Amino acid sequence: MQKKNDRRKFLKQTLAGAASFSPLIAMLTSLKKLNAGDRGDGYKAIVCILLEGGADVCNMIAPLEDKAYRKYKEVRKHIALPQESLLKITDTYGFRNNMTAMQNLFSEKKLAVIANVGTLIEPVTPTEVYNGSKPIPFELFAHNTQRNQWMLGDATGNSNNGWAGRTIDHFYASAEKAAVYSKINVADVSSLILSGGREEAIHFSDAYISSDTMKSYGFGPESGGSDLGKVYQALYETKRDSSHKMMAAFAKKRVKELNRPYALEGLFDGVREFESFDTGVHEVGKPLGTQLELVAKILSVKDRFPGTPKRQIFFVNHHGWDTHDSDNEHQAGYLSDSLEAFQHALETLGIADSVTTFTVSDFGRSLSPNGAGTDHGWGSHAFVMGGAVKGGKIYGTMPKVEVNSPDAWYDRLVPTTSMESYLSTVVKWFGASTEELNTIFPNLKSFPVKDMGYMG
Amino acid sequence: MGQKIFESLFVAIVSIFVLSGCGGGDKSSSINNSTHSVRHPVKSDIEASAFLSRATFGANKEIIEHLTDLGDYDQWFDEQFTIPVSSHISWAHSHAKGINGIPDLNRSREDWKRYSDALGYLQRDTWWDIAVNAKDQLRQKVAFALSEILVISRNGPLQTFPDTRISYYDVLVRNAFGNFEQLLRDVTYHPAMGRYLSYLGNAKADPAVGSHPDENYAREVMQLFTIGLYELNMDGTQKTKNGQPIPTYTQSDIRQMAKVFTGLSDDNGQFEAEAYFDTFHARTAPMAAFESHHDHTEKKILHAKKIIPAGGDTKTDIDRALHILFMHPNTPPFISRQLIQRLVTSNPSAEYVQRVAEIFADNGDGIRGDLKAVIKAILLDKEAFTGKESVSNFGKFREPLLYISHLFRAFHAQNGEHVLKQGDTPLYKYRSFNFNGTGMMRQEGALEALTVFNYFSPDDAPSSLKKQKLAAPELELYGKQGIDDVLMGIITQNGFVYQLFNITAKLQLDEEKKLVHAKKYDALLDRLDMLLTAGNLSTTTRNAIKDYMQKHSYLDDEKLVRHTIGLVMTSPDYALQQ
């Protein structure tokens, strides 16, 4: 039902949240440049796409060779991808047949695959898992705990804020204006990955009607501060010092949000429009294409953010991967098309080398089917895309897709690459030093590989 | 009906005798004093209003007066326990009259599927009308709380089946005053849950095919619906071993538990996928067992310490498994703490959780899982009444839906005619508030969360609070300005909001207008503090609003009233329900 129109309206209004250009503010901010996260190498952004629910990666990448395929088919049974349908990416592996866009990106060396990555406390084999002789992350296979461990960048349970939040704190001096615009959430859920640190993330998802409502009524500071808006804001200002900690935290957050629109005035004038993003079919929640389009639009005006941040981290949430009773055909194809649209948008903007996009997921899924779908697993493959990526390669070790193989505990893959090794590689490219990486990923020390080499 | 009243009277009488004998100490504060002579007197209209903000979808003058007239809370509970149930599916059937030759839903229930897109709105309209107007407020409020624990959603496989969702909601409504074990069983057998968590049509392992049973429900029924991830003390705190929390189950237990939930499909005579959800009956009647698809082998669950013996049929196995979970020592504190959070406060003291969990474990009459007793224990606990003074950081943030329901209730919103269309074709018409706003904005709707994890988890909070081990789950729903802009738009009849949402609700503000007309600003603020903030309007907030009123006394009466209500309801004092 008029999905397209709703979407257009949504974007328009979201962006209008910062309407009416104020050249004065833009001038003031450009005069007052701080280091803005720069490390002498210009602008860089990373875009984290969460495949929420646990991606069935074995139905996205499958072996081509007869012997390996036979084993694959033996465990995947009726949900196995047909051998002849696979889109060849290397001599031995192929993508699912609706992932043509990602196949192209891979062959253009803009996309890399990271094999069998997951949450770990230290390197561990299936035998050691079975024996219980080495520690493994708590509550494997549970959505929330596993997703949280990915977002925290730590499976030991000793971190309580997101790794992207910690990363940003290393790049921006405190009280720096640009820092406010360094963590951007375009999803329709809050993001643990960006949480913590000196600044809360900006949420670009919930301004559905705010701007117009407030403007036409004169409520809130967007109106230029009507009397009603002034009283409203003042009430929150007085509660920032409340002895009730929940009240104080809430009031501080609200006041900060209320002040933001001033600073963002005019930001989205002249924003670039993109035609190639698709809203998908029957998506749960905010579609991936809509979110990536918003990221592209924000990137098109990145130099107009107050303080001109030189480092930005975006969070994107792709819902619908918890495929217990279905195959992930739709999700795989939609991800593939959306990634291509996004990469092309970045190329149009001339910033393809400065932006790296990568996926994470709660976990992989069971190798064997439960009927029509699969259950929660552990190790999973990930995808990294961008002009700075040394693409066209699979990094890490592709697992044998067999029950109780050397790579599996029953029919769940045991990761051979830790999320720390995977993520620290892209964060190193982002500009973090070795010392910083060890605080961003406190358990990185437990893994021999600190840089997988997939970034240029 | 007569029998129901008799039963609840009987329970009440039994409670008096059984419980009065074991009083003394803290434990006597909650349910034990159920006699009509001792007990829980209503001290003031402000206190009554605060109580009603927890127990209903919002206070209004009539219900506050009714409660203060009754004079004690127990009588109000007795009343609420006996009011006839407002059924959501009945409401939908009886209100949606077909037009243009489309038949009456009540007679032609198969139409649910044909017109499911349009009827998707009917679920929201049903919910709003009942939340705002139904007499069985406590039951409906508890059902709403349960809907945030035992989660299914419009988002996902149930999207085009509004009837199954409304029917599921009725399961929560029906069992809100029943027993938790029965609730768990009814939830488990409902086709909406079966489909949502993918065990409808779940077959036993097939060695020929190499498939295993679906583990989805096996996991979530433990993690989210009963025992949670870690062993708990009765007061809701985690048990530890060598400083580490103790997991309640292992992956091996999940595999075993998954075997239990095999063999169910919708009641259409066929197990296979092609037949799913074809009829109204299949979408709303309890799922049926198909023994040839059930795994009849032995199941060892909960660290392999509990055995479900081989040979049981589908329902025997499932009922046994649910009973084991129901009897698990975690279930009372796990469920009690969440119900306290939904109704009263985000960070209940351990003692509060323990008092309620003990009632959950035994209502005093040897009955476990008596939800009436649990609800009373939660709402009549001393911490609920005095927490504002006696414990730090008491209270909870209101949910966006509950802002609007309170507004509509407090000011007696009148609804209007609503014509449901599919494209341009009118299908059904009925009276409703036509308020889809919070759902449309993806902020909050009943049964509209994005996943089975609900809109928020019990321990969610902004990181600054999390560091201090404080939860504020509802803040997950507060984006930029939360509900405030929509709320202000509705109250002040903002053209944009009304047009966008096509709102028909009309607020009745006569009493308020009289006060403004007479320039009795203090009296109006007193009234609003009684109706809305239940005595929590702080002096600074009050003075700021009064100042605004004085400076804008030139506005017409209705406009000034609307501005004033808007400022009160968008104030932080209102956001935090205490």
Mutate: best of B117, B155, B193, B211, partner A, most A CBs <10 A: B211
Cβ distance of A370 and B212 shorter than 8 Å: yes
Give the dihedral sign, CA B25/B30/B31/B35. Answer: positive
User: Are residues B320 and B221 both part of a single domain?
Assistant: yes
User: Are residues B265 and B227 both part of a single domain?
Assistant: yes
User: Are residues B323 and B334 both part of a single domain?
Assistant: no
Cβ distance of A213 and B567 shorter than 8 Å: no
Cβ distance of B451 and A203 shorter than 8 Å: no
Q: Which residue in the block uniquely carries the two structure tokens 């469920």?
A: B335
Query: What domain range is A192 assigned to?
Result: 36-205+286-446
Could you tell me if residue A279 is inside a domain? no
User: Are residues A145 and A229 both part of a single domain?
Assistant: no
Whichever domain contains A49, its CATH number is 3.40.720
Count the alpha carbons within 13 Å of B96 in the hemisphere toward its beta carbon: 32
Mutate: best of B261, B481, B499, partner A, most A CBs <10 A: B481
- On chain A, the residues whose CB falls within 8 A of the CB of B254 are 141
Q: Sorting pLDDT into bands at 50, 70 and 90, what band is A74?
A: very high
User: Are residues A26 and A169 both part of a single domain?
Assistant: no
Tokens for B384? 């609920």
Tokens for B420? 């449901």
Q: In 3-state terms, what secondary structure has residue B540? A: helix
The stretch A220-246 carries a mean pLDDT of 79
- What DSSP string describes A37-63? T--SS--EEEEEEEETT---GGGTEEE
Separation of alpha carbons B29 and B355, rounded Å: 9
Could you tell me if residue B291 is inside a domain? yes
Tokens for A451? 């840089």
Query: What domain range is B16 assigned to?
Result: 2-82+330-396
User: Are residues A330 and A402 both part of a single domain?
Assistant: yes
User: Are residues B293 and B384 both part of a single domain?
Assistant: no
Q: pLDDT tens-digit profile of B514-544?
A: 999 999 999 999 999 999 999 999 999 999 9
User: Are residues A341 and A405 both part of a single domain?
Assistant: yes
The stretch B124-139 carries a mean pLDDT of 94
Tokens for B103? 């038949």
Distance from CA of B57 to the nearest CA of A (A): 22
Cβ distance of A231 and B485 shorter than 8 Å: no
ipTM: 0.90
User: Are residues A58 and A157 both part of a single domain?
Assistant: yes
* B180 membership: H or E segment, kind and range: helix B180-189
Separation of alpha carbons A17 and A11, rounded Å: 10
Could you tell me if residue A187 is inside a domain? yes
Tokens for A290? 């809509």
Contacts of A40 (CB under 8 A, 6+ apart): none
Check residue B272 and give its pLDDT: 80
Question: Which residues make beta-bridge pairs with A50?
Answer: A317, A360
> Of B302, B327, B352, at which residue does a domain stop?
B327
Could you tell me if residue B222 is inside a domain? yes
User: Are residues A43 and A137 both part of a single domain?
Assistant: yes
User: Are residues B235 and B290 both part of a single domain?
Assistant: yes
Could you tell me if residue A55 is inside a domain? yes
The residue of chain B nearest to residue A143, with distances taken between CA atoms, is B453
Could you tell me if residue A453 is inside a domain? no
Distance from CA of B541 to the nearest CA of A (A): 6
> Of B283, B301, B327, at which residue does a domain stop?
B327
User: Are residues A384 and A333 both part of a single domain?
Assistant: yes
Could you tell me if residue A277 is inside a domain? no
Q: pLDDT tens-digit profile of A201-215?
A: 887 753 433 343 334
Separation of alpha carbons A279 and A290, rounded Å: 6
Q: Which of B213, B497, B570 sits opposite A209 (nearest CB)?
A: B497
Mutate: best of A235, A259, A366, partner B, most B CBs <10 A: A235
Could you tell me if residue B73 is inside a domain? yes
Residue A145 contacts residue A136 (beta carbons within 8 Å): no
Q: In 3-state terms, what secondary structure has residue B241? A: strand
Q: In 3-state terms, what secondary structure has residue B352? A: helix
User: Are residues A376 and A332 both part of a single domain?
Assistant: yes
Across A70-79, A191-200, B235-244, least confident range: A191-200
Number of folded domains that form chain A = 2
Distance from CA of A95 to the nearest CA of B (A): 23
Q: Which of B155, B482, B576 sits opposite A247 (nearest CB)?
A: B576
Q: How far is CA A92 from the centre of its chain?
A: 29
What is chain A's mean pLDDT, rounded?
85
Answer with the residue of higher pLDDT: B477 or A412: A412
- On chain B, the residues whose CB falls within 8 A of the CB of A219 are 485, 488, 492
Q: pLDDT tens-digit profile of B38-96?
A: 589 999 999 999 999 999 999 999 999 999 999 999 999 999 999 999 999 999 888 88
Cβ distance of B393 and A371 shorter than 8 Å: no
- Cα–Cα separations (whole angstroms), residue A246 to A235, B260, B462: 16, 43, 9
Check residue B482 and give its pLDDT: 58
> Of A214, A239, A269, at which residue does a domain stop?
A269
Q: Which of A77, A139, A376 sits opposite B209 (nearest CB)?
A: A77
User: Are residues A256 and A392 both part of a single domain?
Assistant: no
Cβ distance of B451 and A322 shorter than 8 Å: yes
Could you tell me if residue A275 is inside a domain? no
User: Are residues A121 and A3 both part of a single domain?
Assistant: no
- On chain B, the residues whose CB falls within 8 A of the CB of A52 are 451
User: Are residues B229 and B321 both part of a single domain?
Assistant: yes
> Of A269, A303, A322, at which residue does a domain stop?
A269
User: Are residues B322 and B229 both part of a single domain?
Assistant: yes
Q: Sorting pLDDT into bands at 50, 70 and 90, what band is A285?
A: confident
Q: Sorting pLDDT into bands at 50, 70 and 90, what band is B17?
A: very low
> Of B309, B327, B345, at which residue does a domain stop?
B327
- On chain B, the residues whose CB falls within 8 A of the CB of A168 are none
Separation of alpha carbons A252 and A258, rounded Å: 10
Residue A93 contacts residue A394 (beta carbons within 8 Å): yes
Question: Which residues make beta-bridge pairs with A63?
Answer: A93
Could you tell me if residue B156 is inside a domain? no
Q: How far is CA B547 from the centre of its chain?
A: 38
Separation of alpha carbons B1 and B9, rounded Å: 12
Number of folded domains that form chain B = 2
Mutate: best of A1, A136, A199, A231, partner B, most B CBs <10 A: A231
Cβ distance of B495 and A140 shorter than 8 Å: no
Cβ distance of B216 and A375 shorter than 8 Å: yes
- The radius of gyration of chain A's CA atoms, rounded to the nearest angstrom, is 23
